[in-house]
Amino acid sequence: MPQTVPYWRLSAFYLSYLGLLGGFIPYWNLYLARELHFSPALIGQLMALTLLPRLLAPGFWGRLADRSGRALAVVRLGTFMLAGLWLALTFTTDYVLLALLMLACTFFQNAVMAPFEAVTLAHLGPHRAYYGRIRLWGSLGFMAMVAGLGGLFDRLPLHWLPLILAGMALAVWLVSLSVPEAPVTRTRAAAQPVWPLLRRPEVAAFLGAGCLLQMANAPYYAFYSLFLESRHYPHLAIGALWALGMAAEVLAFTQLHRLLGRFGARPVLLAAMLLAAGRWWGIGLGADHAAALVAMQLLQAASFAAVHAASMQLVAQHFGEAHRGRGQALYGLAWGVGTSLGAGAAGLAWNTLGGTAVFSLAAGVALTGWLWLWRATATTTARSGLTAEAA
């Protein structure tokens, strides 16, 4: 790791922010179901409502970060507002008010991760392969929070969750104050629109496949805990399974720089997407078998860690330094739209089709994304080969 990179301060941010998500993702829908008595369909509607800010916010925050050259100021605003919004959610039980607060949370949440990822990649410069060594601390934070809260909520009621999340968001804001702004290179390209890049088939396929993969991932992040609870797994076991997935993710992040250096980002991404499809299929069919669930959690190394690390390299390759903020925003937009659509569809289908069928359909969606990216990759490679021969 280059000494010019503020490794520990960047790592501390990922540790605290992903710790916040480790409290939110596995337990928020349990809170809605058990404390507020919302049905899966109503929970799915709430998740789908976040589509609007997921559509609008990434472009707004990414453009602001690129134009101002102060991405960390955007991050600090987002984390500070999240702390206040989670505090307000502690006292909210009304559906309409809760929906409005969740919309606001989603809007400001999009001011956090994409700009900070751009800051991290800017600090790394040509050493982007080391991204995983920083990002693994986020997985450790997620894992610690999931495991800790799993045991805690076997003893305490879930109504404490929003207050815990508010405290975590405040901690993230405090950590963000210690991170230095990345050096900014001003270029004329920064003022040019990013949309022409999206006409390139490989870029469109990369973002579209990412959207489809997140649609496939959404039932896991939205309903995995409820799915296991319906199979009579205790909260401690549910938390342990989430933590096992995070452990696999952490181990993968320590080694992915080797895989990416040897094979390149696109082949790693394609292989990981194929394994992700197998994971969702396996969860649906193997939910009553603890050994199968353990095996499927180990595939978190592929379905998230490898996908994300490879995608970070591809964002940098496709969008360059001049558009790094908006590139991260478009990547976040694709993932956010996929998550909202997938969670909404899963919520509507859950009571009708059941969890097993929903996870099987998710596997099919992931395979569709893989096929799209594979075909675009094959076409681009063939075109490059013909161009080289002609030259």
What separation in angstroms does the CA of 182 have from each of 5, 8, 76, 165, 230?
Answer: 10, 15, 14, 28, 47
Q: What mean pLDDT is reported for the chain?
A: 85
- pLDDT reported for residue 321: 67
Report how far residue 168's alpha carbon sits from residue 38's, in angstroms, rounded to the nearest whole number: 25
- Topology (CATH) of 7-180+192-390: Growth Hormone; Chain: A; (1.20.1250)
Q: Give the chain's end-to-end CA distance (angstroms, integer).
A: 39
Whether 324 contacts 122, CB under 8 Å: yes
| Rounded-to-integer distance, Cα 6 and Cα 167, Å | 25
Pull the structure tokens for residue 168.
């975590």
264 in the Ramachandran plot: left (φ > 0), alpha (ψ -120 to 50) or beta?
A: left
Which residues are CB-neighbours of 40 under 8 A, at least 6 positions away? 33, 223, 226, 347, 350, 351
Give the type of residue at 155.
R
Among 369, 355, 207, 231, which residue's Cα sits nearest to residue 288? 231
Whole-number Å distance between alpha carbons of 21 and 126: 29
Share of the chain above pLDDT 90, in %: 39
Has residue 186 got a pLDDT over 80? no
DSSP state of 303: I
What is the rounded distance in angstroms from the CA atom of residue 170 to the CA atom of residue 183? Answer: 26
Nearest to 17 by CA among 100, 60, 103, 78: 78
Give the model confidence (pLDDT) of 303-347 as tens digits. Answer: 999 999 999 889 888 877 666 667 777 888 888 889 888 988 898
Read off the pLDDT of residues 136-173 as tens digits, 9 standing for 90 and up: 899 889 888 888 887 888 888 888 999 999 999 999 99
- Top pLDDT among 6 and 277 is at 277
Asked if 273 and 376 count as a contact pair (C-beta separation under 8 A), the reply is no
Q: What is the mean pLDDT of residues 284-307?
A: 94
Residues 6+ apart with CB under 8 A from 252: 132, 300, 301, 302, 305, 306, 309
Give the mean model confidence (pLDDT) for residues 204-231: 92
One-letter amino acid of 315: V
Question: Residue 69, exposed/middle/buried by CB under 10 A (0-12, 13-18, 19+)?
Answer: middle
Amino acid at 92: T
Handedness of CA 116, 118, 119, 120 (dihedral sign): positive
Q: How many residues does the chain have?
A: 391
266 residue type, one letter: R
User: What pLDDT score was predicted for residue 323?
Assistant: 67
The answer, yes or no, to whether residue 385 has pLDDT greater than 60, is: no
What percentage of the chain has pLDDT greater than the value 70?
A: 91
Going from N- to C-terminal start, the domains of the chain cover: 7-180+192-390
Higher pLDDT among residues 62 and 372, named by residue: 372
* pLDDT tens-digit readout, 94-108: 889 999 999 999 899
Residue 30 has pLDDT above 90, yes or no: no
pLDDT at 283: 96
CB-count exposure of residue 193 (10 Å: 0-12, 13-18, 19+) = exposed
For range 196-216, the mean pLDDT: 89
pLDDT tens column, 229-245: 889 898 888 888 988 98
